Amino acid sequence: MIWNEQFETLPREDLETLQLRRLKDLVERVYYLVRPYREKMDAAGIKPEHIISLADLQRLPFTTKDFLRDNYPFGLFTLPLDQVVRVHASSGTTGKPTVVGYTKRDIETWAEVMARALACGGVKRGDVVHNAYGYGLFTGGLGAHYGAEKLGATVIPISGGQTKRQIMIMQDFGSNVLLSTPSYALNIADTMADMGVDVASLSLRLGIFGAEP
């Protein structure tokens, strides 16, 4: 259930010391490298040196979705694109998509935190993980994929759609972990019922569902 014992079992005092150091580093970074954040903080009367405790987090101005859209696509990046190895974005169904850039280190961090989350949910080395999160501009599929690989699981990068084929793959490949949105898991269950497939006949041991409210 614990992947990274060093950080997941930190005493509260050590955890808060780490959180404060990272908060200070983050605020200083965006203030001096990202003009829109600097302007937003200046308007709120906040400078990096004003952050001296975790309680000062409440002094920082909110980052709203409109703020992200106003600086579309790369206006909030702290690094030039030649140091960004991947770009993801939201669907943009209610306006311009919100964009996130990842460095190589960001990708490694993402895999690490996903490994922690999956381990907490019961995924372990040797599991066969049926990853039905979407692969593409949406961040879900690849983040879960790398986290499961880091744990030492076997990942089936099936993505979403073609539900009858998904069920066949789960039967034939012996998938014992399902990763998907809650609604798609329900869709799979309904399709199994229509096909006359007994869920108990599969090797599924657990499901981890997210990415929906």
Angle at 130 between CA 184 and CA 176, to 5 degrees: 110
- What residues form DSSP beta bridges with 86? 102
Q: Which helix (H) or strand (E) holds 109?
A: helix 104-120
Which domains, ranges and CATH numbers included, belong to the chain? 1-63 (no CATH), 106-209 (3.40.50.980)
Residue 133 gets which letter from DSSP? S
pLDDT tens per residue across span 143-199: 999 999 999 999 999 999 999 999 999 999 999 999 999 999 999 999 999 999 999
pLDDT tens per residue across span 112-145: 999 999 999 999 999 999 999 999 898 889 999 9
SS3 53: coil
pTM: 0.89
What's the burial of 144, exposed, middle or buried (CB within 10 Å: 0-12/13-18/19+)?
buried
- Looking at residue 139, its pLDDT comes to 84
pLDDT of 213 > 90? The answer is no
pLDDT tens per residue across span 85-100: 999 998 777 778 899 9
Angle at 153 between CA 149 and CA 155, to 5 degrees: 70
